[in-house]
Amino acid sequence: MGSDPAGVVLKTGLGVNARKPGDEVVAHCLSVELEGPDGHNDTMLDPEQRIWGFETNFGGLAHIAPGQVQPADAQARTPHREEAAAPGPVNSTAYRQLVSKNGGDMKQGDNVLIWGASGGLGGFATQYALNGGANPICVVSNEEKAAIARSMGAELIINRSEEGYKFWNDENTKQDPREWKRFGAKIRELTGGEDIDIVFEHPGRETFGASVFVTRKGGVITTCASTSGYMHEYDNRYLWMNLKRIISSHFANYRESWEANRLIAQGKIHPTLSKTYALDEVGRGRARRPQERPPGQGRRALPRARGGPRRAQPGAAGQAHRRDQPVPRSLTAQLHIIHTPARETSARRGVFVAAGQTDWAERHRGRPSSTQRVGARP
């Protein structure tokens, strides 16, 4: 459940020309100030760069929140708002980490090792590799996830459970280089003797030593997370003597987010949505997500504007929440709606976004708001 929703613009502040009330938008979780020069070539380098919903809050759990006007928030042309909201954080992250010149700078023919290839990050990385003419070598943990990778078009798949790799001892204190070599041999078996050009790394401590080892001479290990631990260990001889590079990556800048969303809109990259939750299951879905960790992204089902069908999983009472129903007051504080600026003192241009709740907007249209100034335009 990422922090990026699809929503409806409720009201715009002064100086906003690109958006108007009623526009549907996809918000993403980059929050920057751009008051200094460091972030103007790459907004991820701004000193005030924050990830909304993770490093900041400022309305992240509210039904209506102020948000920055940004070039990356055009609505993806998907038939359902749940699908439009799902790609945001992981799609943009995968784009920067693998495709962008700030990350792996992937090209046609590259062999790309993708850990967790059926999940949120890995599912998009697999699509980018296939769509860009690269060869994804997809690492998964069971046959069900292998089938998901195959359904995306991947052919080179390593099932860790079947292969039984054990990179660390039972105490998790020492790695076994023989297992790195066995893993590398499996990769060469699949690629016809070639090594990895780019590693799409996010498990962290558990896999990092193996990732460094199997990368070709002059290759790249791109890392964006450390779900198994952030104190990485690897044999530096295989890095420095073979001129390999480790590139850090964290979400995406404005341009990269816009490009990633554009590919969704063009239908070239598709949302990896595993499950949606009706509004009366929001709390249950949030609590369940860490334990289940299903492939793809879990997403709350938010109500939409009136008219037309929508898709959602049945709620606890067997009824999907209809999009023409108002949001229950007891649930409004549990919904991630839109990213907001890092500081409320950034009084420049901004918009108000409601997550499809048009009844509230109609009752309050025209009323001034004390927060309409919040939000910086890049």
Domains and CATH numbers, the chain: 6-90+254-364 (3.90.180.10), 104-248 (3.40.50.720)
Residues contacting residue 6 through CB under 8 Å, at least 6 positions apart: 24, 25, 26, 27, 75, 76, 81, 82, 84, 85, 302, 355, 356
Which residues have a Cβ under 8 Å from the Cβ of 130 and sit 6 or more positions away?
A: 136, 152, 153, 154
Return the ∠ at Cα 97 (arms to 244 and 293), rounded to 5°: 115
Q: pLDDT band at 315, cuts 50/70/90?
A: very low
CA distance 350 to 372: 6
Cβ 211 vs Cβ 80: under 8 Å? no
**Tens of pLDDT, residues 226-279:** 999 999 999 999 999 999 999 999 999 989 998 998 898 888 998 877 777 776
Average pLDDT estimate for 162-187: 97
- For the segment 113-165, what is each residue's pLDDT rounded down to a tens digit? 999 999 989 999 999 999 999 999 999 999 999 999 999 999 999 999 999 99
28 band by pLDDT with thresholds 50, 70 and 90? confident
Residue 329 scores a pLDDT above 70 = no
At a CB cut-off of 8 Å and minimum separation 6, what does 358 contact? 8, 305, 306
pLDDT confidence bin for 299, thresholds 50/70/90: very low
The pTM (predicted TM-score) of the whole model is 0.75
H or E stretch including 58?
Answer: none
